[in-house]
Amino acid sequence: MLFNSIEFLIFLPAVFLLYWFVFNRSLKWQNFFVVFVSYIFYGWWDWNFLLLIALTSFCSWLSGVWMGDRDGCPSSIRGLRGHRLFVMVANIVLNFAILGYFKYYNFFVESFVHAFHSIGMTVHPQALKIILPVGISFYTFQALSYSIDVYRGHIKPTRDPVIFFAYVSYFPQLVAGPIERATNLLPQFQSPRSFSYPEAVDGCRQMLWGFFKKMVVADNCAVAADKLLNGSGNLSGIALWVGMFCFSIQIYGDFSGYSDIAIGCSKLFGVKIMRNFAYPYFSRDIAEFWRKWHISLTTWFRDYLYIPLGGSYCSVPKQVRNIFVIFLVSGFWHGANWTFIAWGLLHACYFLPLLMLNRNRKYTGVVAENQNLPTWTEFVQMSVTFGLVLLAWTFFRAPDMAHAFSWLASMATFKGGLAPLFDGTLRLTGLRLILFWVAGMVACEWVNRRGLHGLANMPQQKVLRWSIYLLLFFIVLIFKASRQAFIYFQF
């Protein structure tokens, strides 16, 4: 079920009323209701994949029980030395096997064929028509973090399967994150929740802002980006620059918009989930960008991969290795295509000089903290960082490596000059109106950059405040682009 659908507008208030006025008398039944409606929410897309998320949830829950209760383990496992490690590794292997089959099987088959073809051999392995389950990368990582945290002793395993199934399948963040941690979300399902009017109001504000970023900014930018970049082998450099600018705004507005809707929606149910974006395009270097972009994923890789490899507290060669490992894995997480791996590799190259010069933690606060506008130096830093990110998005958006290098060559040489600005190519995109919405989004988020979302700090005057709400509401109704699925559903 899409957030930007009529079905969700009916689903949400119905769930809210039942959650607080029918099932609030019993924590057990309230958690069961969360699981029930979350499975309806997920199954609305394809009921066939409910068994898959149930299997992931059950295996991860059972692994926690077995790690926490040696006597409850099967004798074949209990007799092994280090049975806790065995159980954790077995669960990780199982979940990655499921994820790998659905997401990477055909990628490895095609790479296998190309590798043998390059040495003059022809093979014909069987490729499969595999449908990628929505959200599988997100809920798999969420389930795995639980097993790892139980093994490390960071959290006690829960013996209640309903609580654990609610943790994995919680519908606001089920299909595109944030990727929650058991240490934060699980205890909230283990204790009674209370309704907070101020939190609910702020949640509605955050949802409204998320809908604006998704349906007005991102979806309109998507229309422009698709017109400019789909089949753009002969487009000029300037058209490609504009197309990639639109895509850069699209992917931010789309994904951070989803996160705002998810976080705001969760506040309605008395559950706090982690922040996923902190205005990353206001970053002054790449290190700051990665502390603010897709925070739940970057911190997941930091805690479960980067730090166990030694992090930054090891020899320089190992630090370099760790940086490349973390970014390459991040690229591979995003999709089964060499373009995503190249995207991760390029960001590793961006990040490496900052690490070597010990400048990767230079910017940890809010830009222009005590000022209304950035300094000239900060403006240049943000512009350069955005430009580097935009160039990297070229690999992310391109269908294959050949297109990516072709686009970059045209962008570097400004092939075609300024002709597209005058021959109507760019006017087809409705660029002026798009830039107006982008400017509005940037202005609101700049003003509220110290807050958690673009409407965090509203005027105290009730009339003015509600005028802003109504204006945004009607802008979403009138200027929304054609309904599109959230871009991160495919990852």
Catalytically active residues are 334
Q: Are 221 and 249 in contact (CB under 8 A)?
A: yes
Residue 297 CB coordination number (10 Å): 20
Q: Are 307 and 299 in contact (CB under 8 A)?
A: no
Distance CA 333, CA 327 (A): 10
Enter the DSSP assignment of 49. Answer: G
Where does residue 367 fall: left (phi above 0), alpha (psi -120 to 50 degrees), or beta otherwise? beta
Token pair for residue 351? Answer: 């990040």
**Nearest-5° angle of CA 422, CA 253, CA 341?**
90
Classify burial at 56, counting beta carbons within 10 Å of its beta carbon; exposed 0-12, middle 13-18, buried 19 or more: buried
Q: What is 216-233 written as a DSSP string?
A: IIIHHHHHHHHHHHTT-T
What is the crossing angle of helices 136-152 and 50-68, to 10°?
Answer: 0
Classify burial at 283, counting beta carbons within 10 Å of its beta carbon; exposed 0-12, middle 13-18, buried 19 or more: buried
In order of 86, 301, 359, 365, 429, the CA distances from 362 in angstroms are 40, 21, 5, 9, 39
Q: Are 219 and 480 in contact (CB under 8 A)?
A: yes
Four-point Cα dihedral 428, 442, 257, 177, nearest 10:
120
Reply yes or no: is the peptide bond before residue 280 cis, omega within 30 of 0: no
Q: Are 143 and 95 in contact (CB under 8 A)?
A: yes
Q: Are 125 and 112 in contact (CB under 8 A)?
A: yes
